[in-house]
Amino acid sequence: MLHSPLDAAHRALGAKLVPFGGWEMPLQYPTGTLAEHRACRTAAVAFDVSHLGTVAVSGADAFDQLQAALTNDLRKIEPGRAQYTHLLDEADASVLDDIIVWWLRDGEFSVMPNASNTARVVDAIGGTDVTGGRAVVAVQGPEARAKLRAVAPEAADVAHFGVTTFEWRGLPVVAAGTGYTGEDGVECAVPVDNAEAFWQAVLDAGVTPAGLGARDTLRLEAGLPLHGHELGPGITPLQAGLGWVVGWDKGDFRGRAALQAEKDRGVARRLRGLTVEGRQPPRQGYPVLVDGKPAGEVTSGNFSPSLEQGIALAFVPPDVEPGAEVEVDVRGKATPARVVKLPFVAKKG
């Protein structure tokens, strides 16, 4: 089991630690998931997301390496910008991982895989796994930048999906205007030697620590996919409603032929949002019934603290559109549900 450079700090705060993607990470702090979720929607929270991978890809061929391996088109951005993209299975175009690429400067990229997929990504794109040399602190929420300004003004000023590098207490930090909550925010990759000091400075600025429980309810309200649920074996970007991450005009890339074949024939299922009345949410694996018959499956479900009702993401037939009434089989009981447009909760402003 791997541990974050901030592990001791979490334990000192009384965090409940759980296994996640091969790491032991904080699920919640004594305030609890609901309070942490609401703090992110109304003020600012800090997540330790050091379990995410960082792969350094650099050199004259770095751009071409990433263009050939990943779905999105780096020509859409430039140095100092970030991009969301996918790594596909060559055989069936399923999503082996969804990734953020930070383009630091000419010929230098930080590729950010999911927790358990770093080795797979290195095999596909090359580069060097530098995960162990840094912590990643994600400051998220409508007050994130204002509070972060007291700690690192350069980080507070980074544009949405921008990337910047600066020094903090003598060591280099990379900050990106990215996150996984549906709120504004900044993610900071801090060298291990400065990690605890940076984390404490963020908390001292009035930011609330938050764990993976709140991160999951926040991303679900924002309609954001989680690898292993809405993305993974047998699931393509087109099925997940993420065709916009595919650079069809850039030439060949890993998995393109299989994805093109699916595009030509049409997807057999499509990811949709569901709401149910009451606080009891549908859970992963529950069947979705259309006209009383099983036609899909819930991939993620939880209680929405913002909406105060159950919400879920589910794969259903592609002709089941927002506004449709369906049912979810909740332990043998057909529970009414409505198909809705995503996100469930939109960022204010």
pLDDT tens-digit readout, 301-325: 999 999 999 999 999 999 999 999 9
Report the distance separating Cα 103 and Cα 58, nearest Å: 10
pLDDT higher than 80, residue 348? no
Confidence tier at 292 by pLDDT (50, 70, 90): very high
Q: How many CB atoms lie within 10 A of CB 287?
A: 17
Amino acid type, 65: Q
The single-letter DSSP state of residue 132 is G
Q: Which has the closest alpha carbon to 131: 115, 148, 150, 152?
A: 115
Domains and CATH numbers, the chain: 2-50+131-221 (3.30.1360.120), 55-129 (3.30.70.1400), 268-349 (2.40.30.110)
Question: Could you tell me which residues come within 8 angstroms of residue 99 by beta carbon, excluding any fewer than 6 positions away?
Answer: 70, 84, 85, 86, 87, 111, 112, 113, 114, 121
Residues 191-222 pLDDT 10s:
999 999 999 999 999 999 999 999 999 999 99
pLDDT, tens digit (0-9, with 9 covering 90-100), for 7-18 = 999 999 999 999
Q: Which tokens sit at 288? A: 């979705």
**CA 277 from centroid of its chain's CA atoms:** 27
Tell me which residue of 314, 146, 159 sits closest to 235, measured CA to CA: 314
Give the number of other Cβ atoms within 10 Å of residue 200's Cβ.
Answer: 14
DSSP string of 33-67? Answer: HHHHHHHHHHS-EEEE-TTS--EEEESTTHHHHHH
Residue 164's beta-bridge partner residues?
A: 175
Is residue 295 within 8 Å of 270, Cβ to Cβ? no
User: pTM above 0.85?
Assistant: yes
Cα gap 203→261, rounded to integer Å: 50
